[in-house]
Amino acid sequence: MTSFTRSFPVFSPVADHSLLVEFGETIDHAIHARVIKLDRTLATQPFAGFVEAIPAYASLLLRFNPLLTDHGQAEAATRRLLGEAGSAETPASLRDVLVCYDDEFAPDISAVAEAAGVTTEAVIEAHLSGDYDVFMYGFAPGYAYLAGVPEKIGMPRKPAAVRGVPAGSVLIAGPQCLVSTITMPTGWWIIGRSPTPILTGDADRPFLFDVGDKVRFRRITRTEFDREAGR
C-alpha cells in the first residue's frame, strides 16, 4: 500500500466565505512560525475582500467577503504573498505569568510526578524551563493555548473532565499549557495557580497575550500569591 504525503501548504475552501491554509499536521514551533508570518503579512498586505485571519496551531483560516472575491482569487493572492521574498516578522513580546505550585493549587502535580518518575520539584523545574509560545486562542474567552511543555512532563488528557476548576489554574496536557480564565471543567492536569490577570477588561485589548507572544512562568510563594491576588 502506497502512503500518501500531503504537500504543504494545503488550501481548502470553507463554506462560501473562508479559506483554510494548512502548513503542517503537528504542534511545532517552525510550522507555527509560518502561520504567524502569513497572519502578519495579511494584516499589512490584505487582498481585496479580506476580512480577517484566525491562526491555529498549524493553520490559518482566512475569512473574506464572498461578494468581493472567491476561493480561487483568495488562494491566488495568498500564494503570491507566500512567494514574496520579504518578511513580515515582528519581534515577539515576552509576557510574565506568576504561578504558585502549592499543593492547594496543584491537585494533580503529584500524579504528574509519579507518571514522569520524578519529584514534584522536578515537575516544577521542568514547567518553569519550558519554551512557551502563544499558538492560538480557543474553547473559552482568553484561553491562550501555549506550546512548549517539556516532554518529560507531557501527560495525555485525563479520561474524564473534572468540574469546577477555578480560574487562574495552570493546566498541562501533552506539549500544551494554558491558564484558565473562568471556573469550568477540564480534562487537563492542574499543576498550579496564577494570580496574573489574563482578561484585561480593555475592549481594545481584551487578553494579556497576542498569538505569537512568548510566555515565561515565574514561581511565587503562597504569600506572594495572596498579595498579587489582592487578598
Q: For 174-224, how does the pLDDT look when each residue is reduced to its tens digit (9 = 90+)?
A: 999 999 999 999 999 999 999 999 999 898 899 999 999 999 999 999 999
Give the pLDDT confidence score for residue 6 in this predicted structure: 77
Nearest to 99 by CA among 156, 165, 180: 180
* Cβ neighbours, 10 Å, residue 203: 6
Q: What integer pLDDT is reported at residue 91 of this predicted model?
A: 72
- Whole-number Cα distances in Å, 34 to 39, 135, 177: 9, 12, 21
Q: Please give the class, per CATH, of domain 94-228.
A: mainly beta
Band the pLDDT of 2: cuts 50, 70, 90. Answer: low
Stated pTM of the model? 0.87
Residue 130's pLDDT band, with cuts at 50, 70 and 90, is: very high
Per-residue pLDDT, 86: 53
CB 109 within 8 A of CB 101: yes
Supply the pLDDT for residue 157.
95
10-83 has which fold? Answer: Gyrase A; domain 2 (3.30.1360)
Q: Please check whether residue 104 is in contact with residue 79, taking contact to mean a CB–CB distance below 8 angstroms.
A: no
Looking at residue 84, its pLDDT comes to 79
Strand pairing class (94-99; 214-219): parallel
- Measured distance CA(14)–CA(61) in Å, rounded: 9
Q: Is the pLDDT of residue 14 over 90?
A: yes
What pLDDT was estimated at residue 26? Answer: 92
Convert the pLDDT of each residue in 76-112 to its tens digit. Answer: 999 999 987 555 556 789 999 999 999 999 999 999 9
pLDDT digits (tens, 9 = 90+) for 32-73: 999 999 999 999 999 999 999 999 999 999 999 999 999 999
Phi and psi (nearest 5°) for 26?
Answer: -130, 165
> Residue ranges per domain, the chain?
10-83, 94-228
